[in-house]
Amino acid sequence: MNFKGKSLSLKEYNDLADILQNKYGMQFLGDYEALCSNIAAGKEEEKNQAKPEPVIKQGQGDEEKAVFIRGTIRSGQLIRSEGNIVVLGDVNPGAYLEAAGSITVMGKMRGTGHAGTQGDYSTYIAAFRLEPMQLRIGDIVTRPPDGKQYKSKVPEMAFVKKGMIIVEPYLGKR
């Protein structure tokens, strides 16, 4: 598990591991000593590397995997996952997300997203602000209309319906 920022005490580390394993059913990889050495090494490496690292992988075996990224995905960056991708930040134009599963962006999605890379049409792409350059689900591709500056004020979700990518408000009619 990779962390950025504050160093954790052994008690904080054990509390976090307990929460992730018992409350969320996540597999916890690594140990405290490795985390401490990774944080020290990561501070030096962080200066030379801008690409976000996967921080949590969920499940094991045939269960779904997810890559969680905290921060902005910048132009030119490619994030690829064999499972889902969750971005806690923005995806800038020119950035590319590629997931065998679904993509969720807790911010603005202005780059390119490709969900269901292995042909899974049940996947989706969701964001607080869905303003992509291009969306792909399976082998179906869409992009926003030329010249129209549509900006939604609610979270949206793109999914496949009748062979087309449909974008709807995430919360629907409540």
The one-digit pLDDT tens for each residue of the chain (174 residues) are 455 566 777 888 788 777 777 776 676 666 666 666 655 555 555 444 445 544 444 444 445 688 899 999 999 999 999 999 999 999 999 999 999 999 999 999 999 999 999 999 999 999 999 999 999 999 999 988 776 666 778 899 999 999 999 998 887 554
* Beta-ladder partners of 166: 159
Contact between residue 137 and residue 158 where contact means Cβ atoms under 8 Å apart: yes
CA–CA gap between residue 99 and residue 84 (Å, rounded): 6
Query: What type of residue is 32?
Result: Y
Query: What type of residue is 116?
Result: G
Which stretches of the chain are assigned E, i.e. beta strand?
Answer: 66-70, 78-81, 84-88, 96-99, 103-109, 112-115, 124-130, 134-137, 140-142, 156-161, 164-169
pTM above 0.75, yes or no: no
Question: What residue has token string 């390119």?
Answer: 112
The pLDDT, as a whole number, for residue 13 is 77
**Residue where one domain finishes, among candidates 32, 49, 66:** 49
Same domain, 39 and 56: no
Domain of residue 34: give its range: 1-49
**How many domains, the chain?**
2
The pLDDT, as a whole number, for residue 6 is 65
The pLDDT, as a whole number, for residue 21 is 74
The pLDDT, as a whole number, for residue 174 is 44
**Residue where one domain finishes, among candidates 17, 32, 49:** 49
CATH number of the domain at 60, please.
2.160.20.70
**Residue where one domain finishes, among candidates 28, 49, 70:** 49
Same domain, 103 and 57: yes
